[in-house]
Structure 1
Amino acid sequence: MISKFPVVLLSNPDQTLEPKIQYLKQVGFSDTDICQFLTKCCNILHSSLEYTIIPCFQLLKTLLPREENVNDNFSDAVKEVLEIGFDPSSKMFVYAVRDVSSVCKAKREVKMGIFRSFGWSDEEIRLAIRQQPKCIAISEEKLRIGLDFFMNGKNWEAERLAKNSTVLPSYLVMFTLAGQRALAVLAGTLCCSGNSKLHNIPNVSDIRTMILVLESLGVEVDVYNGEVTVDTQAM
């Protein structure tokens, strides 16, 4: 830390260093966490506790999903975001802590596994999250759909998608809207007599559930390669 931030040797330990360390403990950092945090972000010791550090941490707390979990989740989320490579002085750091903390650690590991199953390295995963923190907040099902679309459908390499990971949430918003419209159309087939053929129907859980509901009503439904044929004559 001294090699990165030698001016720390000139700091007043009682007036400058100790209050900041005590505040980090207050918000849930362990001694080990503080050592790791300050090693990576030693310039925070040069920031104002009252006007910079406390307001920043208070803002981050408001972005965590549940107030009662602030002390449990906060230091883990901050530490993980730092390990990913975010600069704590940047605005993206705040958004990254929000998105990382919105997903429990076990779920984050599952999503990391999904990336790896598509051939991603850990560094490519970190790069994608640095480019777009929302990548870690995407549901597991939609993450698989997005990766499959770009990597298998569009033949994108992992490195290319990692560098342009902002396209993932954007695509999935469009995909979700398409799924919602498809649900309405599927439901509307009950009002039609005979066969109805629908094209480009996304294979998501809501669509599959609607198909099961239609079948339970006596409707014959055939699904193949994004096409859904609905026959209401058997009702």
Structure 2
Amino acid sequence: MLLSLLRRRPLHSTATLLRFLHHPIPNPTDQSAAASAAAAPATVSYLISSCGLSPSAALSAAEKFHLKSTANRDAVLALLNEHGFTKLQIANLVSKHPALLAASPEKTIKPKLEFFAGIGYTGADLGKLISSDPNLLLVSLEKRIVRNFDLLKTLLGSPEAVVAAIAGSSRLLRYNLSTMMLPNLQTLRDHGVPAPKIVMLATRYPRVLMKKPDHFTKIVKLLKEMGLKPILTKFILAINVMSGLTTATWERKLAVYRSLGWSDKETLMAFTKHPYCMLSSDKKIREVMEFFVKKLHWEPAFLAARPKLLCLSLEKRTIPRCSVFSILESKGLVSWKSGVHTFLLISEIDFLEKYVIKYREQIPEVLEAHQGKLEFVGLQKRYRRS
């Protein structure tokens, strides 16, 4: 440690060096131990017995905050219990923000709990919201929470839409929307995104709208350059995907698909058709591509044109359905040539009705195949799709 410090900040005199040697840098472990020792036993005991914290969590919370009277903290806990918070939610809340136990029950906490109950959050749902974001009890109710809620209601059209958006990101009620969300909404309008699609983005993926405006604008422009049309739902999905990808991750995905036979052009085409193909893990991409190429003998280009297939679960959907179809094909009841990929994409209900329920009496094996109990060995190469 000394050599490292000297390299970063040379000691220019003997006196300085002597002072350093006689007054070494404090050990963080020693500091933590001292803080632990200073934690009031009564506070630790209260946090364990009344708030449900584990001994280690109680000790950690007590290091940050010391409770002096029981009246206030008991009133806070009573309020939380009255509004349906579970024991685990209370424990999580106090563990994250023990100072809330010193907040005014009547002036600070109760009005906010009543506001959230009034817009539809009650019981465990209210506890889930607050315990996941305790800061909601600390910001101003009138100046921030109510103001943001009313603004969002105007933008999204209904209280229900606002509640849906809050469920995705409670920060919508805490942050200054005029510097973050509003500029991004205007960017969407300026680029021709219809109002219903904007509401969709705000309710399904609200965190995306909390991105820095300059970064958000770059994403929207890039997607338009790729050929995605702002009027389509795919445009909204692509914004969500792109906002969560770093440049390094994007380049790595391109390299993975390149190694599996796709050109960069084909990968971009696949992304514009089904943006979520860029969110699958590298491992899943390789496993799924290997299955389709080796078991079904499909060419990579065929898959690039149908990227949604790569996002299906191999174990729960693709393999069981292929097994069912293989059995039916061997009996001459269906044909792979009719478009094997289509039965992978239809809904589970439709698949069950058309390929399992319809034939289970005549061919009981289809039920076992659908349950994943039969091995799928693959197709004959004569069914290659390119």
TM-score under structure 1 length normalisation:
0.47
Larger radius of gyration: 2
Answer 1 or 2: higher relative contact order, Cα 8 Å, separation at least 6: 1
* Structure with more of its chain in strand, by fraction: 1
